[in-house]
Amino acid sequence: MHSYEPFGKIAIKLGACTPEDVEKALEIQRRLTDSGLEHKLIGMIMLEAGMISSAQLIEILRYYEKSSSVSG
């Protein structure tokens, strides 16, 4: 069985961003949630902040798709 990997960890593994980028995005996500706003996915936060490109977002999502099909 394939274990779940968080989006940020995969983004770093694939070279799309740095650990610092992930921390910044998670902080933005926390602030939005704490402000009572709707939960926003970290991938969308990173894309909108220019931390990753749309091509990198697609690559990360494809990685998810492959790993979920492997685990069954």
Averaged over 50-55, what is the pLDDT?
A: 98
> Which pLDDT does position 70 carry in this prediction?
63
Residue 16 lies in a domain: yes
Q: Whole-model pTM?
A: 0.86
- The predicted-structure confidence for 35-44, as pLDDT tens digits, reads as follows 999 999 999 9
Residue 50 lies in a domain: yes
The residue behind tokens 């490109």 is 53
> Which pLDDT does position 9 carry in this prediction?
96
Backbone angles phi, psi at 35, to 5 degrees: -80, 0
Q: How confident is the model at residue 1 (pLDDT cuts 50, 70, 90)?
A: very low
Residue 72 lies in a domain: no
Residue 27 lies in a domain: yes
* Gap between the Cα atoms of 1 and 8, Å rounded: 21
**Which domain does 54 fall in, by range?**
7-67
* Gap between the Cα atoms of 17 and 70, Å rounded: 25
Residue 2 lies in a domain: no
Averaged over 19-36, what is the pLDDT?
A: 97
Split into its structural domains, the chain has a count of 1
